[in-house]
Copies of this chain bind each other. A is one copy, B any other.
């Protein structure tokens, strides 16, 4: 029987209730201050090398009816979270929205409202959603490699799962909660983590046994990676001291996938240091690869071009590598896909492209 100690979480959310209570006692209008969550209040933290919120704050107070409702909802939500912790349950954000049907005047009027309040609570307390037992709708990113995970299952038993020997070819499914109370990394006999954008490419590398031949832990990130996937990669990298290499399509949206893994995303800037892996490197497909490997391409759309231009002024892409590559792509007017490497056959990516690029990056020896 393993159980996380939630007393710290409970203390922190109780402090919110105490603040409101004290305001009432002092006959002041109840209020809560929290950092402003807008693009203007996002700063690149040079020390942590991730995005964080700046010093602007917003006040939620009961001066208006809407504000009073918001504080009332906060109290109900604090109560709901404490109840879940007590009975060892968790809830999706969507379930919480419906649960509020029973909260009388505090009922949420839209799911957006309940999602925002969950983020507010994270920002105020410095806890993570997982600490509140709130979980997302979906996940199911997959892992294959010489890695043993110990998962504490719903029956509170520890289960060791080797991500090659104990799983089918579809791999180990990353659960929605990857915090230490749920999973821990045991042996990881590998040289690096390879995060892969598309399922088709993940399955290609699995079929070609790239995890074995190149001592890689393969993680399918399923497009824009979910929070639990980013946290999984972050923990794996820092606890097992493994370099993280990101392999995506060659277009501006894929570069943002890389940036969210490496530097964090604006929506989750308050917990960037938990989710981002600043040491991760981008392997490709790069615009240079389009030229060097003579890859099949599509023409950049207007949206692609605008996204690339906006990346040129994004501090996450300010180093010379990205500046050069983005400028080259704008000049070429082309984009490409991971699977375009199949032009040279199904084994080209594992026999030629990846080994060459990994050696270039210094991750493996050629």
B339 with A92: CB separation less than 8 A: yes
B296 with A92: CB separation less than 8 A: no
Contact among B154, B173, B183 with A207 in the assembled complex (CB-CB below 8 Å): B154
* Chain B residue nearest in CB terms to A173: B170
* Chain B residue nearest in CB terms to A92: B200
Chain B hits for A204, CB < 8 A: 92, 95
Judged by a CB distance under 8 angstroms, whether A89 is at the interface is: yes
B140 with A343: CB separation less than 8 A: no
A151 with B173: CB separation less than 8 A: no
How far in angstroms is the closest Cβ of chain B from A83?
Answer: 10
Judged by a CB distance under 8 angstroms, whether A18 is at the interface is: no
Judged by a CB distance under 8 angstroms, whether A94 is at the interface is: yes
Chain B hits for A159, CB < 8 A: 168
A345 to B346, CA, bound (A): 51
A95 with B346: CB separation less than 8 A: yes
A339 with B203: CB separation less than 8 A: no
Chain B hits for A319, CB < 8 A: none
Judged by a CB distance under 8 angstroms, whether A199 is at the interface is: yes
Judged by a CB distance under 8 angstroms, whether A45 is at the interface is: no
User: Given that A170-B175, A204-B92, A342-B91 are contacting pairs, would A199 and B138 also be in contact in the complex, using a CB cutoff of 8 Å?
Assistant: yes
Which of A102, A138, A209 has the most B CB atoms < 10 Å from its CB? A138
Contact size class for A? 35 or more
B203 with A92: CB separation less than 8 A: yes
Judged by a CB distance under 8 angstroms, whether A5 is at the interface is: no
A98 to B203, CA, bound (A): 16
A137 with B176: CB separation less than 8 A: no
Judged by a CB distance under 8 angstroms, whether A325 is at the interface is: no
A356 to B92, CA, bound (A): 23
B198 with A137: CB separation less than 8 A: yes
A170 with B174: CB separation less than 8 A: yes
* Chain B residue nearest in CB terms to A80: B346
User: Given that A176-B203, A203-B92, A343-B99 are contacting pairs, would A154 and B138 also be in contact in the complex, using a CB cutoff of 8 Å?
Assistant: no
A139 to B202, CA, bound (A): 11
A91 with B199: CB separation less than 8 A: no
Contact among B91, B172, B207, B346 with A168 in the assembled complex (CB-CB below 8 Å): B172
Interface pairs (24), CB distance under 8 Å: A84-B346, A89-B207, A91-B342, A92-B204, A94-B337, A95-B200, A96-B342, A98-B339, A98-B340, A98-B341, A98-B343, A101-B343, A102-B345, A135-B203, A137-B200, A138-B200, A140-B140, A140-B170, A153-B168, A154-B206, A154-B207, A161-B166, A167-B173, A168-B172
